[in-house]
Amino acid sequence: MFVLKLEDRPEIAFIAEETLGKLAKWLRILGFDTIFEPQLPGAGFSAFKSTARVCLTKTVQRYERFGSQNIILITSDRPSEQLQQVVTDLNIGPPDIHLFSRCTQCNLPTIALHKSDVLGQVPDYIWQTHNTFHGCRQCGHIFWAGSHFVHAQKIIKKLFECK
Ligand SMILES: [Zn+2]
């Protein structure tokens, strides 16, 4: 059975416009609640103007329409530099990061799974060599601390060295 793991969730949340898909994915990997514009049901980007969600845009007109409030104008085309800008502008630190605590596809918090629950659902060698698994209730994707996790940790280390 699924067991919900109660953890502190970061309070900073985002909405990213459609040009910022890779940045949105990275923010989710870091554990931030990030709505990606093409996945928005109904209400448009501008509906978030006066919410607690930080809006991320590359469009100057959009930025100006918001009156520069609650919105970050992303200046770089490179996802790594975009992420660096968000981290710097919001003074995000390592305690705010909860790596792979959120599904990168659905944006929902992942839940801790017992090793016995994922038997047969992940490759055998993964099951034999890992003890910690998380899953998404919506899409069913199972996450474990594999090579992508190590890669993400390296990127995060670099992110905070530059500050
Ligand atoms: Zn999912």
pLDDT of residue 60: 93
What is the distance between the alpha carbons of residues 50 and 33, in angstroms, rounded to a whole number? 17
Ligand 1 centroid vs 156 CA: distance in angstroms?
22
Confidence of residue 155 (pLDDT cuts 50, 70, 90): confident
| Short-list 14, 37, 13, 34, CA closest to 25 | 34
Q: Where are the domains of the chain?
A: 9-95
Alpha carbon of 30 to ligand 1 centroid (Å): 15
Span 83-109, pLDDT tens digits: 999 999 998 888 888 888 899 999 999
Q: Tell me if 100 sits within 8 A of 107, measured CB to CB.
A: no
User: Which runs of consecutive H residues, i.e. helices, occur in the chain?
Assistant: 21-29, 60-65, 79-89, 124-129, 147-161
Across the range 98-126, mean pLDDT stands at: 92
Gap from CA of 122 to ligand 1 centroid (Å): 16
Query: Residue 42 pLDDT more than 80?
Result: no
CA of 29 to the centre of ligand 1 (A): 12
Coil/strand/helix, residue 3: strand
For residue 2, pLDDT over 80 is answered with no
* Beta strands 54-57 and 33-36, pairing class: unpaired
**28-32, 91-95, 114-118, range with the lowest pLDDT:** 91-95
CA of 60 to the centre of ligand 1 (A): 32
**Cα 103 to averaged position of ligand 1 atoms, centre (Å):** 5
The 10 Å CB-count burial string (b at 16+, else e) for 55-94 is: bbbbeeeebeebeeeebbbbeeeebeebbbbbbeeeebee
| Distance of CA 43 from the midpoint of ligand 1 (Å) | 22
Q: What's the pTM value of the predicted model, to 2 decimals?
A: 0.83
Superfamily assignment of 9-95 in CATH? Probable inorganic polyphosphate/atp-NAD kinase; domain 1 (3.40.50.10330)
Rg (CA), the chain: 17
pLDDT computed for residue 33 by the predictor: 94
Amino acid, res. 127: W
> Which residues have CB less than 5 Å away from ligand 1 (the ion)?
103, 105-106, 136, 138-139
